[in-house]
Structure 1
Amino acid sequence: MKNKFYLILVFSVFCAILSGCSGKGEFIQMTPEDTNDFMLNEETGFFYVESFLEVDQELDDYNKEVIQTVAEDENIDIYLFKTAEISDSDPDLEDYGIETRTRTLAYYQEGKLIGEVDFRDLKNFSRHELNQEVQYFIKAMKKNIGKSLE
């Protein structure tokens, strides 16, 4: 009976984690309050943090196109944090629980940063190379979900 309870508990946790990483390849816009709640509630998912600089908008759009292509293939949704919604001209992302820089795709598991792809480091990559890098990252993080349950 105890084993059955344990099995049900593990299965429930596994399903809850997987639901944080399943979707249609869409961006889910997060307000600063949503983002803070996500981190405080120790939720799981992929996050892209847009730059607060207007000059970076074109780069953000390009990065999001690449991310969305991979997200659709991998059946996941991406949480999108628009720093432009913050009234502060130089926001401290840690105030919202975010441990990464802008123009970064990150994976949070139970509210903790597990991995990230900083697009600044990939600025000389072709679109194909960038797509491969994002795909590798997302697949690696999805594998991490199963390992966390062992």
Structure 2
Amino acid sequence: MTFAKVEKLPVNYKTAEDFERFAAQGNAELSMLDEFRLSLIESDDDTLFYGIYMDNELAARMALTFVNEQRDNTFYPPKGYVEISKLEVLPAYQGNKLGSSLVAFVQSFAKPVRTKARVNSEAFWTKLHFKDSQKQENNLSIMTWQPTK
């Protein structure tokens, strides 16, 4: 399977415009516009935002958090993991495996992955070998993936 190229998104005004377009066209629950604007104000050079461009437009994006130590009881024994936040593909680009490409990029780090299944996305995560942890946060199911040894 061929995956689309995932890029680390620069924290600049061009990317802010891309996130504004996402806020206008995407799902309001998945908007990361406020988080991105805060990152822009704080001049954080170590962005956690990643995306895929198609037709010179940001078509898919997500935020990642690299957790070095266990701060909850998601994984046992406790270990560091990557958390995927608010992964979204714009409606015009859905069906092109961009979401799968973003997840494959994260899985390539060979670390456990945690995410919250938003907007009825459990089937998407299950298709990508995530398991329901049987835990919830803010009424959202916590889905996890473990690398094979």
TM-score (norm 2): 0.32
Which protein has the bigger helix share? 1
Ranked by relative contact order (alpha carbons within 8 Å, sequence separation 6 or more), the top structure is 1
